[in-house]
């Protein structure tokens, strides 16, 4: 079965510092990969997606992610974090082999110090 792990439950960075959030997945075929961001009490907003092609994908708000098939990873990066980036970040993979389900990781909470 498909699964997604996000090893870091909580990360704290200073404003202006660089950021990398880790995501590892287990998937039987070529995956579709996604990163979503969620502010408190809100739904999830898509940051970026990978379907095929260039393994470095650009997203909104200055985020990028790199797909590494050999490591089964899809890590999210940002060169300079802003205070408004504080939120919960979810990695997702899908659809699964049974249909159209998408599997989400447990999330990484990002705190930003002024």
List interacting residues with another protein (CB under 8 A).
Answer: 4, 32, 34, 36, 41-46, 49, 51, 90, 92, 94-95, 98-107
For residues 15 and 38, which CB has a smaller minimum distance to another protein in the complex? 38
| Distance in angstroms (rounded) separating the CA atoms of residues 59 and 65 | 8
User: To which residue do tokens 């990002």 refer?
Assistant: 110
User: What backbone phi and psi angles, to 5 degrees, belong to 32?
Assistant: -95, 135
Minimum gap (Å) between residue 49 Cβ and another protein = 5
Minimum gap (Å) between residue 16 Cβ and another protein = 28
Q: Which value, to the nearest 10 degrees, does the dihedral of the CA atoms of residues 109, 17, 15, 80 take?
A: -90
For residues 15 and 96, which CB has a smaller minimum distance to another protein in the complex? 96
| Distance in angstroms (rounded) separating the CA atoms of residues 93 and 6 | 12
For residues 4 and 65, which CB has a smaller minimum distance to another protein in the complex? 4
Minimum gap (Å) between residue 67 Cβ and another protein = 15
């Amino acid at each position: 079965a498909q699964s997604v792990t996000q090893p870091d439950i909580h990360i704290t960075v200073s404003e202006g510092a660089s950021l990398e959030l880790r995501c590892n997945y287990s998937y039987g075929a070529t995956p579709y990969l996604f990163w979503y961001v969620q502010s408190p009490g809100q739904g999830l907003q898509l940051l970026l997606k990978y379907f095929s092609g260039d393994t470095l994908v650009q997203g909104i708000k200055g985020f990028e992610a790199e797909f590494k098939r050999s490591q089964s990873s899809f890590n999210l990066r940002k060169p300079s974090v802003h205070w408004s980036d504080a939120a919960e970040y979810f990695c997702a993979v899908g659809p699964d082999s049974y249909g159209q389900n998408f599997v989400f990781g447990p999330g990484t909470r990002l705190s930003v110090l002024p």
